[in-house]
Amino acid sequence: MNTIQDSLQEKILDRSAKIVILGLGYVGLPLATIFAEAGFHVVGVEPDQKKVETLRRGESYVQDVPSEKLSRLIQAGKLKATSDFSVLKDADAVSICVPTPLRKTGDPDLSYILVATDELAKFMHPGVVVVLESTTYPGTTREILLPKLTENTGLQVGKDFFLAFSPERVDPGREDWTTYNTPKVIGGITAACSDVAALWYQQALETVVPVSSAESAEMAKLLENTFRMINIGLVNEMAIMCDRLGLDVWEIIDAAATKPFGYMKFTPGPGLGGHCIPIDPLYLSWKLRALNYTARFIDLASEINTGMPRYVVSKVQDALNEKAQPLKGSRVLIIGAAYKPDVDDIRESPSLDIIGLLRQKGAEVDYHDPYIPEIIHDDWSMKSVPEIMEKVHAADCVVIVTNHSAYDYDRILEEASLIVDTRNALGYAGRENSKVVRL
């Protein structure tokens, strides 16, 4: 007899399975296009009406998804965008890609997952595979999603429907490792859930890595991002220690990186940014707190990393002091506001704290970023200056916060009177120059 699992697997294999992606952001939109390119019909449900309208015009707002590819898929009827959750009633496969930020208190904010799951629960029916992609603490899929999807539906997981977790690992702006070729870890609530979810993702992605449970998949993502956060914390502290010792941290890192084994290069910077590294490990430490355990490495790295913007401001203050100038009233130009080079994402960017602190201390702050035309943050907003070199020339201090590759660093070095370089963007030319202060 053909089981529900058999029929769903057949639909997946012959591409007749209808896919719904909940949330068309940095994660959901690339995933939707990949499934559409693999031959599935994909509908993205996005509550932000502006995003839906932009997509319907065939325009992409995610750097990694070219508008040309998007409009081709939309015109071919393979990809659709809507704000109407009722499309879920016909779905065979659903992927949830909604935000998982922190609350003001630093605790996980699962509200987007809860709302998306409640919508999905209204339209649940037999023969659906559901995959949660949003980064979260271990246990979320089983403790939060599963009861919501079974409570009022009477459906049995692993038999009537299939539920799994698969962390997204995309590194926005990166071209060598994309959503398509970055191996995808998948863990189900039951073995059947893992099988169905893996089969679905195998149709569109290069490598799928099954693990034994949803919790293992959730924890694998947190290990990856915690590893990165702690190593960045270590190298940031190394920069502070080298400063005290009068040593050049950049030279030391390059020297250590010549070791062909047992060392991985991380570089210091003005602080953590982006939607993942500053936030995800705190989901883990929050979960462990509830189990009376303190995640000490996470707490320590977090303390060092969140202190970096203040450390950069102290560098600016000291550099101006050397010129007998107070920070108050000085013209400071911030170069680069995005959280990392060559992306248009400002979420959690250290530039926000640096600008805020400089303004608090009375500096006259401007910024330039080719990717971020405007910043609206807390109680202040600013527009990127239109002409960078004019401002570089006029500034009392230029602070390189994001080392976008579009900048002409030789010219910046030539024109500026004082530079604080937090990314070693000027390299050894900066080291040799007395008007440059490096991290």
Ligand X SMILES: NC(=O)c1ccc[n+]([C@@H]2O[C@H](COP(=O)([O-])OP(=O)(O)OC[C@H]3O[C@@H](n4cnc5c(N)ncnc54)[C@H](O)[C@@H]3O)[C@@H](O)[C@H]2O)c1
Which is closer to ligand X, CB of 133 or CB of 237? 133
Residue 99 engages ligand X in binding (rule: CB under 6 A)? yes
The span from the CA of 247 to the CA of 316, in Å, is 19
Q: Which of 112, 201, 339, 367 binds ligand X (CB under 6 A)?
A: 112
The CB-of-168 to ligand X minimum distance in angstroms stands at 4
How many angstroms from the chain centroid is the CA of residue 405? Answer: 20
The CB-of-133 to ligand X minimum distance in angstroms stands at 6
Which is closer to ligand X, CB of 64 or CB of 366? 64
Q: Which of 5, 8, 17, 26 binds ligand X (CB under 6 A)?
A: 26
The CB-of-29 to ligand X minimum distance in angstroms stands at 8
Choose one: 166-174, 211-219, 255-263, 285-293; the region binding ligand X (CB under 6 A).
Answer: 166-174
The span from the CA of 251 to the CA of 247, in Å, is 9
Buried b / exposed e across 115-154, counting CB within 10 Å, b at 16+? ebbebbbebbeebbbbbbbbbbbbebbbebbbebbbeebe
The residue sitting closest to ligand X, measured at its beta carbon, is 25
Which is closer to ligand X, CB of 172 or CB of 430? 172
How buried is residue 55: exposed, middle or buried, by Cβ count under 10 Å (0-12/13-18/19+)?
Answer: buried
Residue 116 engages ligand X in binding (rule: CB under 6 A)? yes
Q: Which of 5, 9, 19, 23 binds ligand X (CB under 6 A)?
A: 23
| Residue 354, H or E segment | helix 350-360
Does 97 qualify as catalytic in the annotation?
A: no
Listed residue (387, 388, 392) closest to 420, CA to CA: 392
Residue 31 engages ligand X in binding (rule: CB under 6 A)? no
Which is closer to ligand X, CB of 5 or CB of 54? 54
- The CB density around residue 362, as the number of other CB atoms within 10 Å, is 12
Per the structure block, which two tokens stand in for 390?
A: 């004019």
| Residue 192, H or E segment | helix 191-202
Residues in region 133-162 near ligand X by CB under 6 A: 133-135
The CB-of-21 to ligand X minimum distance in angstroms stands at 9
Listed residue (108, 29, 438, 140) closest to 279, CA to CA: 108
Please pick, among 97, 193, 242, 276, the residue that the annotation labels catalytic: 276
Rule CB under 6 A: which residues touch ligand X?
A: 22-28, 45-48, 51, 97-100, 112, 115-116, 133-135, 168-170, 172, 275-276
